[in-house]
Amino acid sequence: MHVSTMPVIATQDLVKTYHLGEVQVRALRGVTVSLDPGEFVAVTGPSGSGKSTFMHILGCLDRPTSGKYFLEGRDVSRLSKDELAAIRNRKIGFVFQGFNLLPRTTALENVELPMLYNGGVRTAERHKRARAALEAVGLADRTAHYPNQLSGGQQQRVAIARALVSSPSIILADEPTGNLDSRTSVEVMDIFQMLNIEHSLTVILITHEHDIAEYATRIITFRDGRIVQDRPADSRRIAKRELAAMPVEESV
């Protein structure tokens, strides 16, 4: 198998069924998809269509009821909890709607967190990498700030720095702009596009907002646990351009 042609993510007929007493909830009903390294994919669809369930499986937080999931060519759909934890630590960076930063913990320490569970990263190395990640998201001057001293957009950027600090294969973002106003949303999308273009990171962005999906290179639409549409973004939005065009007085 050639590395250059190997998809970073490949799923075969993923099914996820939840059992709520007598009732069966079929959250995913056979999802087959393949993502190449360096893609910026938006997963969209109405609420309840199975986007988050799909992301949990891609993120190794959950295992499918049936079907296969290959991450960088390795079947990870039947691994043990601890093996999944190790994969989450090294290969996946999560960004959540609610930021999920630890309170009363500085931005730097929040970003260092994944490296605490990665065995041999020494303290000095940890500080260095965390600083570099915060710099990449434009927060070099906010390392000692606590989350409650940062704006929502800045908090989400700290969360992105935390996601990319251990050089993962993919960044998974579930509704990352859900708690942000429109300008801040564009700023966050700018970061994702920058990471995708300049650092060649594979980004999977889950959103139910169509205009946010437009920042991706490829848009996958879910309905009732199935992929109903998979197309390249024909008129891709570029966040940097939009920010430059925005009136200055709006910026924080």
Residue ranges binding ligand ADP (CB under 6 A) = 18, 20, 25, 27, 45, 47-53
Q: Which pairs with CB-CB distance under 8 Å and at least 24 residues apart come from 28-34?
A: 28/53, 28/54, 28/57, 28/64, 28/225, 29/224, 29/225, 29/226, 30/67, 30/225, 30/226, 31/67, 31/225, 31/226, 31/227, 32/227, 33/9, 33/220, 33/227, 33/230, 34/7, 34/9, 34/10
CA–CA separation, 75 vs 58, rounded Å? 12
Q: For residues 162 and 114, is the Cβ–Cβ distance under 8 A? A: yes
Least gap, CB of 118 to ligand ADP (angstroms): 28
Q: Is 52 in the site for Mg ion (CB under 5 A)?
A: yes
Nearer to Mg ion, 52 or 154 (CB): 52
Q: Is 44 in the site for Mg ion (CB under 5 A)?
A: no
Nearer to ligand ADP, 54 or 110 (CB): 54
Nearer to ligand ADP, 26 or 237 (CB): 26
Least gap, CB of 114 to another protein (angstroms): 4
**Out of ligand ADP, another protein, Mg ion, none, which partner does residue 70 contact, by CB within 5 to 8 A per kind?**
none
Q: Is 185 in the site for Mg ion (CB under 5 A)?
A: no
Bridge-based pairing state of the strands 202-206 and 218-223 = unpaired
**Out of ligand ADP, another protein, Mg ion, none, which partner does residue 27 contact, by CB within 5 to 8 A per kind?**
ligand ADP
Q: Which one of the spans 43-51, 115-123, 188-196, 212-220 is the region binding another protein (CB under 8 A)?
A: 115-123
Q: Is 114 in the site for another protein (CB under 8 A)?
A: yes
Q: Is 176 in the site for another protein (CB under 8 A)?
A: no
Least gap, CB of 4 to ligand ADP (angstroms): 33
Sites for another protein among residues 40-99 (CB under 8 A): 56, 59, 61-62, 81-82, 85-86, 88-90, 94, 96, 98
- Please identify which residue in 25, 102, 140, 228 interacts with another protein, judged by CB under 8 A: 102
DSSP code string of 7-44: -SEEEEEEEEEEEETTEEEEEEEEEEEEE-TT-EEEEE
CA angle 45, 184, 54 (to 5 degrees): 25
Q: Tokens 């990498």, residue? A: 129
Q: In what order do the strands lie in the sheet with 9-20?
A: 23-35, 9-20, 66-71, 74-75
The residue ranges that bind another protein (CB under 8 A) are: 56, 59, 61-62, 81-82, 85-86, 88-90, 94, 96, 98, 100, 102, 104, 113-114, 116-118, 162, 166
